Amino acid sequence: MGCWPFATWAGDAALRVTALSQPPATMAADSARSDDSRGSVAAYLWLHAPRDRTAWYALRLAADWQQASRPLLAIRGNVRACVTVYLPPDYRPHTDSIFDAALDPSFSHRAVVYLLPADLRAGQPVYLALGDPGQTQPIRVGITDVASYRADDLRHVRLSTFFASVQLSMLLVILCFWAVLHDRMYLYFVLYVGAQVLYVMAASGELFALPGAALLSPLGYRTGQCAAALSAAFSIWFILAFADLRRYTPRLGATLGVLRWPFLACAALVWMAFLQPNAWLPNTVNLLLVVCTALVLLSGWLAWRRGNRQAGFFLLSWVPLLALTMARVVQLVAGYRLPEWLEYGFPASMAWSAVVITVGLADRTLQVRHERDHASDLAQRDPLTGVLNRRAIMDHLRKAWKASTHTAEPLAALFLDIDHFKRINDTRGHAGGDACLTAVVDEIRAELGGSGEVGRYGGEEFLIVLQGDAARSAQRVAERIGARASALRVRIGEHRIAFTVSIGVAVRDTLITNLDVLVQCADAAQYRAKAEGRNRVVLWRPGLGGTAPVAAR
Model pLDDT for residues 112-145, shown as the tens digit of each residue? 999 999 999 988 999 998 876 666 667 888 899 9
pLDDT at 541 over 70: yes
C-alpha distances (whole Å) from 86 to each of 10, 20, 132 are 24, 14, 18
Average pLDDT of the chain is: 84
135-145 and 71-76: which strand pairing? antiparallel
| CATH fold group of domain 390-551 | Alpha-Beta Plaits (3.30.70)
Element (H, E) at 74: strand 71-76
How many Cβ atoms sit within 10 Å of the Cβ of residue 20? 18
DSSP-assigned beta bridge partners for residue 95? 84
User: What is the model's pLDDT at position 418?
Assistant: 94
CA gap 292, 259 in Å, rounded = 8
CA gap 221, 99 in Å, rounded = 7
CA gap 88, 76 in Å, rounded = 20
Element (H, E) at 461: strand 461-467
User: What is the model's pLDDT at position 206?
Assistant: 85
Helices and strands (H and E) in the chain: how many: 15, 18
pLDDT at 291 over 70: yes
* Whole-prediction pTM: 0.66
CA gap 519, 260 in Å, rounded = 61
DSSP letter at 87 equals -
What's the pLDDT band for 202 if we cut at 50, 70, 90?
confident
Q: Which phi-psi region, left, alpha or beta, contains residue 126 (left: φ > 0; alpha: ψ -120 to 50)?
A: beta
How many Cβ atoms sit within 10 Å of the Cβ of residue 133? 14
How many Cβ atoms sit within 10 Å of the Cβ of residue 97? 20
Dihedral sign, CA of 155, 156, 157, 162?
positive
pLDDT at 553 over 70: no
What's the pLDDT band for 333 if we cut at 50, 70, 90?
low
For 445-465, write each residue's pLDDT tens digit.
Answer: 999 988 889 999 988 999 999
Closest CA to 131 of 183, 84, 170, 82: 82
Specify the 3-state DSSP secondary structure of 494. coil
Are 291 and 258 contacting, i.e. CB atoms less than 8 angstroms apart?
A: no
User: What is the model's pLDDT at position 231?
Assistant: 92
DSSP letter at 39 equals P
pLDDT at 33 over 50: no
Q: Which residue has the higher pLDDT, 4 or 70?
A: 70
Q: What dotted CATH number matches 2-151?
A: 2.60.40
Give the percent of the chain with pLDDT over 90. 38
CA gap 316, 300 in Å, rounded = 10
Closest CA to 444 of 420, 465, 473: 465
Given 3-state DSSP classes, what are the helix, strand and coil percentages for the chain, each rounded to the nearest 5?
A: 55, 20, 25
Are 133 and 51 contacting, i.e. CB atoms less than 8 angstroms apart?
A: yes
**Burial per residue of 347-358, b for 16 or more beta-carbon CB atoms within 10 angstroms, e otherwise:** bbbbbbbbbbbb
Are 538 and 529 contacting, i.e. CB atoms less than 8 angstroms apart?
A: yes
CA gap 349, 324 in Å, rounded = 8
Are 167 and 196 contacting, i.e. CB atoms less than 8 angstroms apart?
A: yes
How many Cβ atoms sit within 10 Å of the Cβ of residue 38? 9
CA gap 170, 357 in Å, rounded = 9
Does residue 71 have a cis bond before it (omega within 30 degrees)?
A: no
Closest CA to 92 of 114, 77, 72: 114
For 423-444, write each residue's pLDDT tens digit.
Answer: 998 888 989 999 999 999 999 9
Alpha-carbon dihedral 448, 452, 455, 460, rounded to 10 degrees: -40
C-alpha angle 107-113-118 in degrees, rounded to nearest 5? 105
Q: What is the mean pLDDT of residues 104-115?
A: 90
Q: Which residue has the higher pLDDT, 181 or 421?
A: 421
DSSP-assigned beta bridge partners for residue 59? 17, 126
Alpha-carbon dihedral 381, 387, 390, 395, rounded to 10 degrees: 80
CA gap 33, 462 in Å, rounded = 109
User: What is the model's pLDDT at position 133?
Assistant: 61
CA gap 45, 15 in Å, rounded = 8
Q: What is the mean pLDDT of residues 84-110?
A: 89
C-alpha distances (whole Å) from 27 to each of 24, 90, 500 are 6, 9, 114
User: What is the model's pLDDT at position 20?
Assistant: 86
For 485-518, write each residue's pLDDT tens digit.
Answer: 999 999 888 888 999 999 999 999 888 889 999 9
Give the percent of the chain with pLDDT over 70. 89
Q: Domain spans of the chain?
A: 2-151, 183-377, 390-551
